[in-house]
Chains A and B, each alone.
Chain A
Amino acid sequence: MTPVEQLADVAPEPGVSKPDPILVVDDVSRAFGGLKAVDVDHLEVQRGVITALIGPNGAGKTTFFNLLTGFDQPDSGTAVFDGEIASGKSSHELARKGMVRTFQLTKALTKLSVVENMKLGATHQRGEHFFAALVSPLWNAQERDIESRADALLERFKLDHMRDEYAGTMSGGQRKLLEMARSLMADPTLVMLDEPMAGVNPALTQSLLEHVKSLRHEGITVMFVEHDMDVVRDISDWVVVMAEGQIIAEGPPDTIGSNQQVIDAYLGSHHDSALDLDAGLLDEEKP
């Protein structure tokens, strides 16, 4: 049974357990002053599928990502990634273990060339050690390997024509592409994409979506934050809904829109009609 098929038997309830979770979160909370930005009782993320994390602005999605990836530390609770305790670990350690993220506000390294940006993503580089760096023969061969991997990915993301340009000369959408391609250089087992399509033009969105789907084929688990419900329905296998820091619903993408709690969270508690996703009601939540 494929990971996606396994999800068919999972009940659409918040905090439900999955057959093969890569990430298990327990009681994770984070408060900013009096505001509880994240307060998650239990969440499991199925291995090998695409999970969407949705929720209104300020729901705590980015904060939750920060907590999981070591960019922020939770006030309480634990996260287990691939069988190992992840909470308390620093961001670079988690990245080396295969949990690689991108940022809502893109972080292209503007004064490095596009291909250098890509090469940076590769982990376990011998030439990154100070003394080894002084002796080129120790890392030349590996560097060539990394470079050909980088070139292959650039081609796949249709960025090869910008290979030697400064990343700072790229458009916003191209930077999103670069950041995603760069994260793949790190050979991740779990990629966490924070609004990968935000600000990307529709034509480019389509190709980004194809790339995200192709990750699933390679056995990479994807968790991504997205506001556009069309996108969510198109590529995700499972949807997790966050509101006011809590997980309020989970389920397959085609039924999540009719969940009363989700409707309440997005529109206030006085609506009773199912969300008209095609009309793009949720799009209004876009920043």
Chain B
Amino acid sequence: MSLAAIDWGFILTQSVTQAFDFNAVVYALAAIGLNIHFGYAGLLNFGQVGFVAMGAYGMGLSITLWQLNPFLAVVVGMIFAAIFALILGLPTLRLRSDYLAIVTIAAAEIVRLIARSTVMRPITRGAEGLNEFIGPFRDLSPFSPGQIYGIGPIEWRGSQFFAVVVGWILVALSLLLVAQLMRSPWGRVVKAIREDEDAARALGKNAYWYKLQALILGGVIGGLGGMVQALGNATVQPDFFVAPLTFFFWLVLILGGVGRVWAPVFGAVVYWFMITFIQNTGRQLVDEGLIPTSIMDTSQIDQIRFWIVGAALALLMVFRPQGFFGSREEMALDAR
């Protein structure tokens, strides 16, 4: 029973691996989408997980149902997310911003419940989910499934490394897209609408149309996250897309700093590092008897790590409310 017995090398390797694994990519893409919605256009979307699900199901069904090729399947996944954006946005974006918020919460749950319903079983395989779509993607992968790939001690199996590589490429492309858009006149209009929609309209900008475009764009990028999830886990199951996931995407965005291009990626990496670090450290501390089981046993660590992340986030909000990358100066303008 001693601190020396703790394997810090193992803990760090695990944490760094998770920080760059496909799960972090899923969170990063979903949060990049939310950043477009909230950070730039000021749209309150509390159902981002619905867009993620639409992307995953669009891609999966294209192959299991319509036998499309994998590239077309990705396009269909994006179209699914875009259609979801239209369904949510067309009726609500003319109204006050609260209406979109309310509708998105409900809609994301509706997607999940429809996908797992018995009537949809012939199409979505209900709660079991889609699996067979993975074959054509495996065929595309340059990595052999059984082999180990990685940099130094950070390793992935070939089957998952494909999702990791594709995922980070998608993240890079999304960031380039966001950076370019936000320095363009398009981005200027979107930011103006976030500040004051009426001012933008008085200057001839069709606020409704721009909000719709932003909702679609952020939703489609979230949909790409869903596809990375599908590739990484080799399955699309409805109960992956539960409502609380949206709030983890929000956490990641706020951690990084709202309205900054890089922030969601940073937030996702830090989040997954922290979660894994706390979990592994806690487990070893209990195993070594440094934390008596009367206080906590290993099965409780999964819950307690969220307490700690929650507390850390609360502290961040006290000492750095703008997140890691956000601008304090901008935040202070709200108080004027």
Min CB gap B248→A, angstroms = 26
Number of interface residues of A (CB under 8 A): 42
Min CB gap B89→A, angstroms = 15
Confirm or deny: B198 has a beta carbon within 8 angstroms of a beta carbon on chain A: yes
The winner among B199, B207, B334 for most chain A CB atoms within 10 A is B199
Q: Check A130–B186 contact: CB distance below 8 A.
A: yes
Q: Is the interface of B mostly helix, strand, loop or mixed?
A: helix
Min CB gap B215→A, angstroms = 13
Q: Check B203–A183 contact: CB distance below 8 A.
A: yes
Q: Check B177–A109 contact: CB distance below 8 A.
A: no
Q: Check A95–B191 contact: CB distance below 8 A.
A: no
Min CB gap B295→A, angstroms = 46
Q: Which residue of A lies closest to B332 (CB)?
A: A168
Interface code B172-191, partner A: CB below 8 Å = 1, 0 otherwise?
A: 00000100110011111101
B202: chain A residues at CB < 8 Å are 69, 71, 91, 95, 100-103, 107, 183
Min CB gap A47→B, angstroms = 21
CA distance A80 to B191 in the complex (A): 32
Confirm or deny: B330 has a beta carbon within 8 angstroms of a beta carbon on chain A: yes
The winner among B188, B200, B333, B334 for most chain A CB atoms within 10 A is B188
Min CB gap A128→B, angstroms = 5
Q: Which residue of B lies closest to A182 (CB)?
A: B203
Q: Check A139–B185 contact: CB distance below 8 A.
A: yes
Interface code B298-336, partner A: CB below 8 Å = 1, 0 otherwise?
A: 000000000000000000000000000000011001101
Known: A110-B333, A166-B329. Contact between A133 and B181, CB under 8 A?
Answer: yes
Min CB gap B76→A, angstroms = 21
A128: chain B residues at CB < 8 Å are 185-186, 188-189, 205
Q: Check A109–B330 contact: CB distance below 8 A.
A: no
Number of interface residues of B (CB under 8 A): 31
9-residue interface stretch from A10-18, A111-119, A199-207 = A111-119
A166: chain B residues at CB < 8 Å are 329-330, 333
List which A118-136 residues lie within 8 A (CB) of chain B.
119-121, 123, 125-130, 132-134, 136
Confirm or deny: B196 has a beta carbon within 8 angstroms of a beta carbon on chain A: yes
Known: A102-B202, A169-B333. Contact between A109 and B196, CB under 8 A?
Answer: yes
CA distance A111 to B322 in the complex (A): 14
B293: chain A residues at CB < 8 Å are none
CA distance A140 to B211 in the complex (A): 24
Confirm or deny: B122 has a beta carbon within 8 angstroms of a beta carbon on chain A: no
CA distance A126 to B334 in the complex (A): 31
Confirm or deny: A59 has a beta carbon within 8 angstroms of a beta carbon on chain B: no
The winner among A96, A109, A112, A139 for most chain B CB atoms within 10 A is A109
Min CB gap A283→B, angstroms = 28
Q: Check A103–B199 contact: CB distance below 8 A.
A: yes
Min CB gap B251→A, angstroms = 23
A169: chain B residues at CB < 8 Å are 333, 336
Q: Check B333–A111 contact: CB distance below 8 A.
A: yes
A91: chain B residues at CB < 8 Å are 198, 201-202
CA distance A134 to B182 in the complex (A): 10
Q: Check A103–B198 contact: CB distance below 8 A.
A: yes
CA distance A90 to B201 in the complex (A): 9
CA distance A112 to B217 in the complex (A): 22
Q: Which residue of A lies closest to B217 (CB)?
A: A130
B330: chain A residues at CB < 8 Å are 111, 166
Confirm or deny: B206 has a beta carbon within 8 angstroms of a beta carbon on chain A: yes
Min CB gap A102→B, angstroms = 7
Known: A130-B186, A139-B184, A166-B333. Contact between A111 and B195, CB under 8 A?
Answer: yes
Known: A111-B333, A166-B330, A166-B333. Contact between A127 and B185, CB under 8 A?
Answer: yes
Q: Which residue of B lies closest to A97 (CB)?
A: B204
Confirm or deny: A160 has a beta carbon within 8 angstroms of a beta carbon on chain B: no
CA distance A123 to B204 in the complex (A): 7
A256: chain B residues at CB < 8 Å are none
CA distance A132 to B186 in the complex (A): 9
Confirm or deny: A143 has a beta carbon within 8 angstroms of a beta carbon on chain B: yes
The winner among B204, B206, B207 for most chain A CB atoms within 10 A is B204
Known: A134-B177, A136-B180, A143-B185. Contact between A92 and B206, CB under 8 A?
Answer: yes
Confirm or deny: B131 has a beta carbon within 8 angstroms of a beta carbon on chain A: no
CA distance A70 to B317 in the complex (A): 41
B64: chain A residues at CB < 8 Å are none
CA distance A101 to B200 in the complex (A): 11
B281: chain A residues at CB < 8 Å are none
Q: Check B204–A95 contact: CB distance below 8 A.
A: yes
The winner among B184, B195, B217 for most chain A CB atoms within 10 A is B184
Confirm or deny: A86 has a beta carbon within 8 angstroms of a beta carbon on chain B: no
CA distance A119 to B330 in the complex (A): 20
Min CB gap B312→A, angstroms = 27
The winner among A111, A112, A129 for most chain B CB atoms within 10 A is A111
Confirm or deny: A198 has a beta carbon within 8 angstroms of a beta carbon on chain B: no
Min CB gap B263→A, angstroms = 15
The winner among B185, B189, B191, B206 for most chain A CB atoms within 10 A is B185
- The 12 sampled A-B contact pairs (Cβ below 8 Å) are A71-B198, A92-B204, A92-B207, A93-B204, A110-B333, A119-B185, A120-B192, A127-B184, A133-B185, A133-B186, A136-B184, A169-B333
B residues in contact (CB < 8 Å) with A: 177, 180-181, 184-189, 191-192, 194-196, 198-207, 213, 217, 329-330, 333-334, 336
Q: Given known contacts A91-B198, A108-B199, what 19 new A-B pairs fall within 8 Å (CB)?
A: A92-B203, A95-B202, A95-B203, A95-B204, A101-B202, A102-B202, A107-B196, A109-B196, A110-B333, A112-B191, A119-B185, A120-B192, A126-B185, A128-B188, A130-B213, A130-B217, A134-B184, A139-B184, A166-B330
Complex A-B, nearest 4 residue pairs according to Cβ-Cβ distance, in ascending order: A168-B333, A127-B185, A133-B186, A95-B204
